[in-house]
Every structure is written in structure tokens, then in C-alpha cells.
Amino acid sequence: MARVFKRKDRLSAMSEINITSLLDLVFCLLIIFMITTPLLEQSIPVKLPSQAANSGDQPDPKLKYQSVTVNSQGNYFLGKDPVTLEQLEAEFKRFAALPDPPVIAVRGDESVPYGKVAEIYILGKKAGLKQMGIETQAR
């Protein structure tokens, strides 16, 4: 009789579902989504001017960045939010007053006249921002 009970116990233990590999898969997917989500943040479609692949420095991960975009219609965006030049100027002044102002990354569609992008730099200079850069696309 004792052997029968041992065999039943062994069979009941084997019939339980082992979810260890399922948890590994879930954590792996979670990490993948955490990495790719910030890359999807830029939702304003612009065709950036191109440059040679190794002609620029990599961005410093310790710095904070704020993107300003000019799309092909000439509209301005601060992050994802549409803004006017007056609103942009007010935000630049607010950024300049911060103890650690962000680096302004200007994203201008290549079909936009240079004057539209230059207006952003002029506003930033007037506001007292020291670090501004232009984003390009590697060839």
C-alpha cells in the first residue's frame, strides 16, 4: 500500500504547472518594452537632413534634452505639443531660469526654409540658453 501512495504523490507533483519559464518570458518582454518606449516618443514626422554616419559625437546621457520640432508645414512643436513662437520664447526663458537647463535639440524638416530653424536659435539666444543643437539623420 505504501508504494501506491508514493506513486500518486509523485504524479500529483508532476501535474502542477511550472511557470518559471513563463515568468522569464514576461520579464524579458517587459525589459524590451521599457527600452523601446522612449524611442517611440518622437511622433511628429519630419525628414531630418542627413550627415555622414560617424561625423558627430554621441549625446551625453547625463544631460537633459528638450526637443523643438519644425514640421514640413512650418509648425512649431515643443516635445509633442504645438506651440507658437511667443509660447516657445516663454518656455525658453523658463528653461534658462532653471539651475540645470536642458539642452535644446532642434529637429527641422529638410524642406523647411532655414529661417524657420534660425528663429528657434534666435529665441534661445535671447532667452539665455547656452546649449542648443541640431538633429540630423545618419546616411
pTM given for the model: 0.58
Domain boundaries, given as residue ranges, for the chain? 2-40, 50-138
Cell of 103: 539642452
The dotted CATH code for 50-138 is 3.30.420.270
66 closest CA partner among 90, 99, 42: 42
What 3 state SS string does 8-66 have? HHHHHHHCCCCCHHHHHHHHHHHHHHHHHCHHHCCCCCCCCCEECCCCCCCCCCCCCEE
- In the predicted model, residues of the chain with pLDDT beneath 70 are 1-15, 39-44, 46-62, 138-139
Grid coordinates given for 124: 534661445
The answer to whether 131 and 59 are in contact (CB under 8 A) is no
Quote the pLDDT of residue 60.
Answer: 61
Tell me, what's the pLDDT at 110?
84
